[in-house]
Amino acid sequence: MRNQAPCLSIGFLATTTGRLFTHLMEQKLKPAGMRAGQIPVFLALGKGEVLNQKYLAEFAGIEQPGMATLLARMERDGLIEREPDPNDKRVSQIRLTPIGLTKSQKIIPIMEEASEEAFKGFTPLERDILITLLERMSSSLERCI
């Protein structure tokens, strides 16, 4: 792999690592009745916040139609509820239900457990360096798109 162009190997490694971490998260979330794609919604609404779909889509970094589908499934499963925005009846305000709030409290511990598994064999310094470098790379890429 080292003979490939750096941008190709970086892209491949980032994609592969992201896919593997998502798979690990799915395994850990499944017993709790949650999915990895729901994490941004649980994080955004986890303290009782009331937000609209547009904000949630931007927060999650996905398109509006994808968020609409995700929210419809979460509503079907009793995790969120919608209410009309008092200032704009075309917009729905979204909040977690009591069941959703209870589940949202499990997200951070599950994410921390998965991170611990992903960082097995890393020194604390290596962890810090990798996180710093990934944050810098994300910032660079955000400026490109």
pLDDT exceeds cutoff 70 at 23: yes
* Short-list 113, 138, 131, 121, CA closest to 25: 113
**Span of 11-15, 78-82, 92-96 with lowest mean pLDDT:** 11-15
What pLDDT was estimated at residue 67?
96
Better-scored residue on pLDDT, 7 or 23? 23
Instruction: Identify the bridge partners of residue 88 per DSSP, sorted by sequence position.
Output: 85
pLDDT exceeds cutoff 50 at 5: yes
- Average pLDDT of the chain? 92
Strand-strand pairing, 80-85 and 88-96: antiparallel
Task: At 91, list the tokens.
Answer: 């917009």
Task: At 80, list the tokens.
Answer: 């969120």
Query: What would the pLDDT profile of 57-80 be if each residue is shown by its tens digit?
Result: 999 999 999 999 999 999 999 999
Q: Provide the whole-model pTM.
A: 0.84
pLDDT exceeds cutoff 90 at 11: no
Task: Write 63-70 long-range contacts (CB < 8 A, 24+).
Answer: 70/37, 70/38, 70/41
SS3 of the chain: helix, strand, coil, percent, to 5: 70, 10, 20
